Structure 1
Amino acid sequence: MTVTSRRAFMSRSLALGCSLAASPLVTPVTMASGPWDARLVVIILRGAMDGLDTVRPLGDPGFAGLRDGIPEAGPDLDGFFGLHPALSGLMPLWEKGELGFAHAVSTPYRDKRSHFDGQDILEAGTGPDAAGQARDGWLNRMLQAMPGVTSETAYAVGREDMLLLTGDAPVANWSPEAALALSPQAQRLLERVMHDDPLFRDSIDEAIALSRAEVMEMTGGEDLDAGAMMNAMQDNMQPTREADRVGSIVRFAAERLRQESRIAAFSLNGFDTHARQDRTLPRALDPLQEAVLTLRQELGDVWDKTAVLAMTEFGRTARWNGSGGTDHGTAGAMLLAGGAVRGGRVLADWPGLSEPDLYQRRDLMPTRDVRAFAGWAMRDLFGMDRGVIERTIFPGLELGSDPKLTL
């Protein structure tokens, strides 16, 4: 049997035992373990989060003219910046110094404002000339530079890795809606079919092992036959098919981070707010708040060793458009959270919002590279060499001054 026909056979066969793992609506979480005690969680906010509405520069006299009609005031942060009310549930973390933000930041991407190119550059960590050409991501390059990296036993059948963690370093994927239940006969048949195809053989072995391990956790160690296994998986998957997809992703990440994993990455969607931003942005920010609060709750004592970075591909226009939304822009904001974070601060070399201060007279001017904050987090958490960060992990980046992100 050829490789092509084996792949076709596998895709038909796994359809009998897998849920919607291949659906573009399902977000996988990607894990990696390593020989350090600190943890790093990277959340990619897809769609371009509006930093000016999320962390509002209320103390800038130009803001009111650009954003006339913001409907509801949120909590004050530091007398200059205020927080969007949809994130007000994070204020206890701010007050404890476990939440912060970096503002007026961006990748090197400029002007074309394509989601696809912007996300590629964000996850690849490279310059704009490499858009669409990168084959590995900055988080995987970090792992390649660290000794003793191993993969978590997890795999999402039918899902591509996030570019952020794609590369030669071993990592593993999991999807909250991936379930695989095979009879012993079907499992033996798959093993024979995949015997000469190492990629698919190893992947199916991981999928079977993960599915069985999760069912054993659900049943308190009781081994089940294929039918009972499928029933248990269907029951376990039910919440993720309804309203708890983000919670399932984050709880899984936290469970692994409490154990051997040290790196987790996942994405949240919905930040492309071209119209009625007063309605659309809160719907996107709510899962972000849920993710951070769930991590705080589920990680327990490990939270004190954890830094969370939430990053987006670019910002949005400084002015509302005619539909009460914002269009693709340049600089934006990133969120920093965790017990290891030196929070209670908005880190910003604030450029101002008068028209001459705007980038191309339409966007918040970027004053610092978002990759620099990720680089300093790596240096603080994992002791990465500055030269490796600037030459290998983020080629061509100048880290600049130390923002002292962690305790």
Structure 2
Amino acid sequence: MSDTMFTRRGFLTRSAILGCSAAASPLLTPVSLASAPWDNRLVVIILRGAMDGLDVVQPYGDPGLAGLRRTLALRPDAGALDLDGYFALHPALAPLYPLWQANDLGFVHAVSTPYRDKRSHFDGQDLLEAGTVTLGPASGRDGWLNRLLQTQPGMSAETAYAIGHDNMLLLSGDVPVANWSPDVALKLSPQGARLAELVMHDDPLFRDAFAEAQMLSGSMQAMAAEEMAATGDMQGMAGMSAPAQGQAKGKPKGIKLIAEFTAKRLRADTRIASFSIGGWDTHNGQERTLPRALDQLAQAILTLKAELGPHWKKTAVLAMTEFGRTVRENGTKGTDHGTGGAMLLAGGAVRGGRVYGQWPGLAEADLYQRRDLMPTGDVRAYAGWAMRGLFGLDRAVVEQAVFPGLDMGSDPKLLR
């Protein structure tokens, strides 16, 4: 492990990919953990880049889907896995289907944060992790998981794993928590490095992150090499060092390494963990790119289940994204930034085998701004009900301290 890590807005990529947002990078995967007196466990996975919930949990029973998704819509007879006669699961998540059948996997559809209209990855993710209505000095710079810890006496951090410069915003705040990150590497050609420096010159967040990234080395470059090999990008592979290419064959690596480490801590004193998975910004070729991100998510959840053993029964996993994507696929067989999206629930503590939420419909008059899935639920409310069930929080604590100003609404009964 390295004694340094990317800042939250740092990015890792090869020189040919300068147009990809750091916020949507599939290689930005810090882990934050917190110990607590409870016996139940909570894992929050941030899906950076805006997951297309309409593709992951496909409403094939809605007559409007086929006309809006001419190449992306799949029915059960075309490879999707039927969930309940109305919704179907993307085939890339087939490894998770046994969890659905065992009632350890569920989804919430048509949810969002209060974020609207600007559709910026950075702002959307900040609002998701802050758990507030707006961003700015008035809302502070702490995250909702840290505010949860602030409501409980006697919290302690796993200080032996306090590695890296900063926490995810989700767990940042007055209560100290541990940080851990796999090694990170960046290797650019001199021309690519110079171009990146010029692009970032006037943005100190990017500039400082890039300078830091240039000094690091390790497994994250191996992840990049692995993906290039998987996609047949021989030109990209040729630009990487031989050690990096060789590391791509090592084990454990990537998301499996992160999930194994998370489970190890959850088997000990840690009760709350959070990490991120990128690669969800599917503007083009979504049929090709989305399965890679879904595979990472499936690997993370199945590794957690395997490594947690009997503790899986006491665990809830919430996978959340900053916003959804447009209901219409675009001209490059992808989707653009939208509003309403989907949330994934997993774990032995979850009442799975169902799709929660109020479905708004896909008729044009039912869409948000006639382009996006209309949000009918607040993703914070579902997270709030999960925490209330896992940790016995009073409703007033969730609505006033963890998510200030939130109305949780009626109990969706997410947990067993």
What secondary structure, in the 3-state scheme, does the structure 1 residue paired with 2:82 have?
A: coil
Match of 2:197 in 1: none
Structure 1 unaligned blocks of 5 or more:
1-16, 179-233
The offset of 1:21, in angstroms, is 3.1
Cα distance between partner residues in 2 of 1:270 and 1:339: 27
Match of 1:359 in 2: 368
Cα distance between partner residues in 1 of 2:249 and 2:169: 24
- Residues 20 and 26 in structure 1, CA contact (< 8 A), matched pair in contact too: no
2:109 to 103, 121, 128: 103
Match of 2:307 in 1: 298
- Residues 258 and 302 in structure 1, CA contact (< 8 A), matched pair in contact too: yes
Cα distance between partner residues in 2 of 1:130 and 1:368: 24
- Residues 28 and 278 in structure 2, CA contact (< 8 A), matched pair in contact too: no
The offset of 1:28, in angstroms, is 1.7
Match of 1:28 in 2: 30
The offset of 1:155, in angstroms, is 3.9
Cα distance between partner residues in 2 of 1:143 and 1:241: 36
2:2 to 18, 23, 43: 18
**Does 1:271 find its partner at 2:273?**
no
What secondary structure, in the 3-state scheme, does the structure 2 residue paired with 1:329 have?
A: coil
Number of paired residues? 335
Cα distance between partner residues in 1 of 2:249 and 2:261: 12
- Residues 125 and 138 in structure 1, CA contact (< 8 A), matched pair in contact too: yes
Give the % identical residues.
Answer: 65
Match of 1:166 in 2: 172
1:397 to 384, 390, 406: 406
Task: Give the 3 Å change call, closer, same or farther, for CA 249–321 of structure 1 in structure 2.
Answer: same
Task: Give the 3 Å change call, closer, same or farther, for CA 362–26 of structure 1 in structure 2.
Answer: closer
Deviations for 1:263-300, whole angstroms, at most 9, x for unmatched residues?
00000000000001001111111100000000110000
1:341 to 336, 350, 355: 350
Task: Give the 3 Å change call, closer, same or farther, for CA 132–252 of structure 1 in structure 2.
Answer: farther
Matches within 5 A, 1:174-213: 174-177=180-183
Task: Give the 3 Å change call, closer, same or farther, for CA 241–362 of structure 1 in structure 2.
Answer: farther
1:45 to 44, 47, 50: 47
Deviations for 1:291-345, whole angstroms, at most 9, x for unmatched residues?
0000110000000000000000000000001111000000000000000000000
**Does 1:289 find its partner at 2:298?**
yes
Cα distance between partner residues in 2 of 1:320 and 1:262: 40
Match of 2:321 in 1: 312
1:84 to 84, 90, 114: 90
The offset of 1:20, in angstroms, is 6.6
Cα distance between partner residues in 2 of 1:321 and 1:242: 38
Cα distance between partner residues in 1 of 2:262 and 2:161: 13
Between 1:155-164 and 1:102-111, the stretch displaced more is 155-164
Amino acid at match of 2:110: A
Match of 2:330 in 1: 321
Amino acid at match of 1:317: T
What secondary structure, in the 3-state scheme, does the structure 1 residue paired with 2:125 have?
A: helix
The offset of 1:132, in angstroms, is 10
1:150 to 156, 167, 172: 156
Deviations for 1:165-195, whole angstroms, at most 9, x for unmatched residues?
00011210011228xxxxxxxxxxxxxxxxx
Deviations for 1:236-269, whole angstroms, at most 9, x for unmatched residues?
x957978821011000000010111100000000
Amino acid at match of 1:18: S
Cα distance between partner residues in 1 of 2:171 and 2:141: 10
Task: Give the 3 Å change call, closer, same or farther, for CA 262–158 of structure 1 in structure 2.
Answer: closer
Amino acid at match of 2:47: L
The offset of 1:148, in angstroms, is 2.2
1:59 to 58, 61, 85: 61
TM-score (norm: length of structure 2): 0.77
What secondary structure, in the 3-state scheme, does the structure 2 residue paired with 1:327 have?
A: coil
Structure 2 unaligned blocks of 5 or more:
12-26, 185-242
Task: Give the 3 Å change call, closer, same or farther, for CA 26–48 of structure 1 in structure 2.
Answer: closer
Cα distance between partner residues in 1 of 2:142 and 2:249: 29
Match of 1:120 in 2: 126
The offset of 1:128, in angstroms, is 2.7
Task: Give the 3 Å change call, closer, same or farther, for CA 254–109 of structure 1 in structure 2.
Answer: same
Task: Give the 3 Å change call, closer, same or farther, for CA 149–162 of structure 1 in structure 2.
Answer: same
The offset of 1:158, in angstroms, is 4.0
The offset of 1:159, in angstroms, is 3.5
Deviations for 1:75-115, whole angstroms, at most 9, x for unmatched residues?
10000000000001101000000000000000000001010
Cα distance between partner residues in 2 of 1:129 and 1:150: 28
- Residues 376 and 399 in structure 1, CA contact (< 8 A), matched pair in contact too: yes
- Residues 177 and 240 in structure 1, CA contact (< 8 A), matched pair in contact too: no
Cα distance between partner residues in 2 of 1:395 and 1:238: 45
What secondary structure, in the 3-state scheme, does the structure 2 residue paired with 1:336 have?
A: strand
The offset of 1:154, in angstroms, is 3.6
